[in-house]
Amino acid sequence: MNAASLIELRPGGSRPPIVMIHALSGTLLPYLALAGALDGATPVYGIEADGLDGKRQPLRDVASLARRYAATIRDAFGGAPVTVLGWSYGGIVAAEIAARLGASGASPSAVLIDVQRLNPSRPNRTLDADEELVEFGRLMMSGTAPAAARPPTLAELRAIPARARLAHVFETIVAARPRTPVAMLHDFLRVFRSNLVAHDAYVPGEIRRVAALFVRSHGQTHPDRDPSLGWRRWFADGIDVAVAPGDHDSILDASNVAGLAACIDQWQSLHVST
């Protein structure tokens, strides 16, 4: 299997690099504002999903994604310190990548941004076709300016004739991201659906030799039960927790990333060696 491509999002200086892992949408679009807000001495890279260009079949399980992406990171940085970062589903993949890097003798760190509450005893809920479209629109528009068009709610989408729903979601995305060709969105949606399959089949396991930070959004519900939303159970060496502005959908927005970047920069300075 060919290695995944490592995309430079922003050059940096002498600090260990951060590698951002795509979420369900498969793209790095949600991370662009955060990449620009992090400490300027930190090089920032990203990995997008296969299939966004329509030329490859997207992978459909977290283990395969993590194995492939870990190989790419090892090839680029060897055993040097590196932080693997992911928001939402991207955090699940980032955790698994870090686990593989740690097991191979590298010195990885993981930053998980508002990743879902983990409850292995409860099967993930399968989305119907309309729910998939709403979630796809929400993810594709994450990180856009607050004034951008918002994705339709489920009720709004179901008020539209079924045959027009896909086009409506695509038009809404393009309104928020004018440089996104509609033709590409069909490939993006295929990748999104493959990532949903991987997400729904995911079963966590113990993660060792990884320094970890969980950043919870201020709007996350029931944080008092476990501020790490269940991830503390899986990181054998512990996990630190911070809180950043926004809710799950807006934590990466341009209006909130300064606070998020400050949490990450501060933690990196204390826990990631150069």
pLDDT digits (tens, 9 = 90+) for 43-61: 999 999 999 988 888 999 9
Report whether pLDDT(192) > 70: yes
Q: Report the mean per-residue pLDDT for the chain.
A: 90
pLDDT digits (tens, 9 = 90+) for 205-237: 999 999 999 999 998 766 567 889 889 999 999
Report whether pLDDT(274) > 80: no
pLDDT digits (tens, 9 = 90+) for 239-252: 999 999 999 888 99
pLDDT digits (tens, 9 = 90+) for 125-154: 578 899 999 999 988 887 666 556 788 999
For β-strands 7-10 and 44-47, DSSP reports them as antiparallel
pTM (predicted TM-score): 0.90
H/E element, 168: helix 165-176
Domains, the chain, ordered by start: 7-118+203-271 (3.40.50.1820), 129-197 (no CATH)
Q: Which residue has the higher pLDDT, 116 or 211?
A: 211
Comparing C-alpha atoms, which of 217, 216, 209, 270 is closest to residue 235?
Answer: 209
Token couple for 221: 């519900």
DSSP state of 28: S
Token couple for 159: 């008020």
Residue indicated by tokens 């856009």: 144
Asked if residues 111 and 84 have their Cβ atoms less than 8 Å apart, the reply is: yes
Distances (CA, A) of 125 to 58, 95, 119, 131, 202: 21, 21, 12, 11, 12
